[in-house]
Structure 1
Amino acid sequence: MNTLARKATMEHTPAVAEPCAGLRSQVRQFAAEWRDAGRYTPRSDSWLRSFDLEFSKQLAARGLIAMTYPKEFGGAGRTHVERLAVTEELLRAGAPVAAHWIGDRQIGPAILRHGTRELQEEIVPRIASGDAVFCLGMSEPEAGSDLASVRTSAQTADGGWLVNGHKIWTTQAHRSTHAYLLARTASGERKHDGLTEFILDMDSEGVTVTPIVDLAGEHHFNEVRFENVFVPARRVLGEPGRGWRQVIEQLSFERGGAERALSSYPVLVELIAETARQRDDQELHAVLGGLIARLAVLRRLCFEVARAMDEGQAPVQQAAALKYLGNAFEHDVIEALRRTDLCQDPAFDSVFGQALLASPAFGLRGGAAEVLLSLIARQEART
């Protein structure tokens, strides 16, 4: 293995790797066993597109889901830095982690921060065991990155709320047991007022899921409609009408993870191999060297976000910066491989083809560039 390839395997970043060597080895061995047995094929964007509930449950049995959750709720009581090591290795392996990713990454932490004891006891252990599969009921046809413009409404009813509305681009909704839902429960002077977060059962009467098939013929996106869907009062997350601050906090969990830099990691592996074959192509070597240097910086940002979470913070601006820079990196990795002979006629199911077809969403999910830059700019203005 040449020097660049060795660095890109991500085994030599002391701030992250050395304290977590045992965890990394455990994840690599488990993923390799499943891969070598033919139980999955590594792919880009695996955290959204590669779904295997049994894989997730096996991770849970090994204490590799809900790692940062308290032990009383089925978690492992470990640090976010340790969780980062595990998620990096799963993404490097292109493993089928979509079944647990959203629930583990952000819904569990949100419930632990803002949910009642009853809600925590009901939902969090099911996330920790892999039994609860979550989708995100955020984006709507006219409210994507501008989540404060959501029109889905919830009105009070006897014992709870009645939800009516329409969500779109809802990943894995057709396989989910639960949805996190952002809905408008009141109007205020600002559009950010009057928003409430709910935890909803996807098998509730009045929930309709319609598939959205992408350019490659894959189905992971969906439209979800709610028609007089009853949500019990105990399923409100936080205080009714004051959900916007919680949404922003939750997005720091969504935006600040390793998936914002490693969705196209299998492409980087192919680029490394191709560069090794083209020993005389100095331009390609320079491009790869630049990408690996950027990856080292992005990993450091991931580490800083994880450390801030361990200190009890919600690093909104840092997570926004990571997502913005990570999106650009992922696109540039794909573009670098595109320029090689390896991709003259890419198949849809090739590593390159999968990543290329997924890439338009990199800059949209979790917030468009304009939204991220505004968050970063506000932080700069305060400092």
Structure 2
Amino acid sequence: MAQLRADIRAFIAEHAPKAEDAALRANCWAVGDAAFSRALGQAGYIGMIWPRQYGGHERHPLERYVVLEELLAAGAPVGMHWIADRQTGALLLRYGTEEQRQRFLPRMAAGELYACIGMSEPNSGSDLASVRARAVREGDGWRISGQKTWTTNAHNAQLMIALVRTEEGSERQNGLTQFLIEMDQPGVEVRPIIDLTGGHDFNEVFLDDVYVPDTMRVGEAGAGWSQVTAELSLERSGPERYLSSYALLTELVRLAGSNPAPRLAELIGEITARLMTIRQMSMSTAAKLAAGEDPVLEAAVVKDLGNGFEQWMPRAVQAVVDADLSGRDDFARVLSVLLQVSPSFSLRGGTREILRSIIARGLGLR
């Protein structure tokens, strides 16, 4: 693993674009660079655990975990390929058809095909069982209409996996199906959602009578709920759930070099201890996923604790360091950005209330 860390660090140093604004290193998994994603794919750092027949490299899951950690810790712009590598590819390997795998996975592994997630809707955020987007059967395909929101990277993605209702009159978890929707299809419209910092990660996606052939259905019709819960375990348990604020820790350590205040050293120690604890839990969940398990409960715990940690950190730093948030130095910019965007961390992939309901059910408490 030590050699792999050295290799990916050297790759990042050579290929990662140098951000003019250090604040871009915060929440970097939502920031993309097409050339960097292609370089990663050519070097074999995307689709690392996928079968070679689909463009993958059949590496050990913990090797992939090491690469993800190093990319996030360095603030590399991985947003273009992130979702495809993290969950879309895994979903197709588990539930997709051979035709779908052959068609899409090699381009994903090459860092050339990007995906987005069509789950949340305006009135169905984390409560995915209440989605209202619908698909109606038409000949050898389906007509899909509805709206998806908070869709990360939809403005760059070529492909969406959408969760829609395919059984008329069905409610909650019943009658849901997943489809692959090509984003250049007639009837697909993407509108930007600009965040407080002026960033454009999120989007609204409108689906107006979009025709999707049945060959683009993922898994069995009506089995979407079980598939999407397995997919969410991939989304909720990765290192991005505790490393989105890592850039602030590195800036804090640099600051401590010229400011030996005891409280600053204590805070760095507390941050590091919390981070390493969540990291161990995340790696354990990754091992279960690699073994073919569906650690829904463990993934929910990792995301809840990771989001809490990432939202606590910038506030804790602000309480200890008297920083001019209007300043242009790296520390001030990173802190300012994270204070603005960190409230959204507990919304992505499921709100804290939903996660704690999952945890309570898993523990037999409700």
Query: TM-score, normalised to structure 2's length?
Result: 0.94
Gap change, CA 1:347 and 1:203, over 3 Å in 2: farther
Q: Which residue of 1 aligns with 2:363?
A: 380
1:331 aligns with 2:314: no
How far is 1:34 from its partner? 3.4
Structure 1 range deviating more: 345-354 or 318-327 = 345-354
Q: CA RMSD in A?
A: 1.8
How far is 1:289 from its partner? 1.1
Native 8 Å contact 1:34 1:40 kept in 2: no
* 1:334-367 deviation digits (Å, cap 9, x = unpaired): 1122124452234598211222221111111001
How far is 1:38 from its partner? 6.1
Native 8 Å contact 1:271 1:336 kept in 2: no
How far is 1:298 from its partner? 1.0
- Percent identity of paired positions between Structure 1 and Structure 2: 43
1:72 corresponds to which letter in structure 2?
A: Q
Structure 1 range deviating more: 175-184 or 28-37 = 28-37
Structure 1 range deviating more: 336-345 or 208-217 = 336-345
Native 8 Å contact 1:66 1:128 kept in 2: yes
SS of the residue aligned with 2:196? Answer: coil
SS of the residue aligned with 1:343? Answer: coil
Gap change, CA 1:154 and 1:61, over 3 Å in 2: same
Q: Which residue of 2 aligns with 1:232?
A: 213
Native 8 Å contact 2:116 2:160 kept in 1: yes
Query: TM-score, normalised to structure 1's length?
Result: 0.90
SS of the residue aligned with 1:98? Answer: coil
How far is 1:187 from its partner? 4.2
Counterpart selection for 1:362 from 338, 345, 357 = 345
* 1:222-279 deviation digits (Å, cap 9, x = unpaired): 1110111011111111101111011100000000100000001000111222233332
Q: Which residue of 2 aligns with 1:47?
A: 29
Structure 1 range deviating more: 335-344 or 237-246 = 335-344
Partners in 1 of 2:339 and 2:185 — Cα distance? 36
Q: Which residue of 2 aligns with 1:13?
A: none
Q: Which residue of 1 aligns with 2:41?
A: 60
Counterpart selection for 1:129 from 110, 115, 121 = 110
How far is 1:91 from its partner? 0.3
* 1:130-175 deviation digits (Å, cap 9, x = unpaired): 1211111111100000011111101111221110001111111111
Gap change, CA 1:332 and 1:143, over 3 Å in 2: same
Matches within 5 A, 1:291-370: 291-341=271-321, 343-346=323-326, 350-370=333-353
1:108 corresponds to which letter in structure 2?
A: G
Please list every run of 5 or more consecutive structure 1 residues that lacks an aligned counterpart in the other structure.
1-19
Q: Which residue of 2 aligns with 1:69?
A: 50
* 1:311-335 deviation digits (Å, cap 9, x = unpaired): 1112111111110000111112211
Gap change, CA 1:209 and 1:189, over 3 Å in 2: closer
Partners in 2 of 1:237 and 1:78 — Cα distance? 25
* 1:199-241 deviation digits (Å, cap 9, x = unpaired): 1100000001111111122222111101110111111111011
2:42 corresponds to which letter in structure 1?
A: A
Native 8 Å contact 2:26 2:245 kept in 1: yes
Counterpart selection for 1:287 from 258, 263, 267 = 267
Native 8 Å contact 1:267 1:334 kept in 2: yes
Partners in 2 of 1:58 and 1:35 — Cα distance? 9
SS of the residue aligned with 1:339? Answer: helix
Q: Which residue of 2 aligns with 1:108?
A: 89
1:326 corresponds to which letter in structure 2?
A: G
1:271 aligns with 2:262: no
Counterpart selection for 1:371 from 345, 354, 358 = 354
Gap change, CA 1:356 and 1:378, over 3 Å in 2: same
Q: Which residue of 2 aligns with 1:172?
A: 153
Partners in 1 of 2:166 and 2:16 — Cα distance? 46
Gap change, CA 1:278 and 1:377, over 3 Å in 2: same
Partners in 1 of 2:214 and 2:326 — Cα distance? 51
Q: Which residue of 2 aligns with 1:217?
A: 198
How far is 1:100 from its partner? 0.4
Native 8 Å contact 1:347 1:353 kept in 2: no
Q: Which runs of 4+ in 1 moved over 6 A?
A: none
Partners in 2 of 1:249 and 1:36 — Cα distance? 34
Q: Which residue of 2 aligns with 1:158?
A: 139
Counterpart selection for 1:117 from 79, 90, 98 = 98
Partners in 2 of 1:36 and 1:74 — Cα distance? 25
SS of the residue aligned with 1:230? Answer: strand
SS of the residue aligned with 2:4? Answer: helix
Please list every run of 5 or more consecutive structure 2 residues that lacks an aligned counterpart in the other structure.
none
Q: Which residue of 2 aligns with 1:9?
A: none
Native 8 Å contact 1:274 1:342 kept in 2: no
Partners in 2 of 1:146 and 1:36 — Cα distance? 38
Partners in 1 of 2:139 and 2:107 — Cα distance? 27
Matches within 5 A, 1:255-270: 255-270=236-251
1:111 corresponds to which letter in structure 2?
A: L
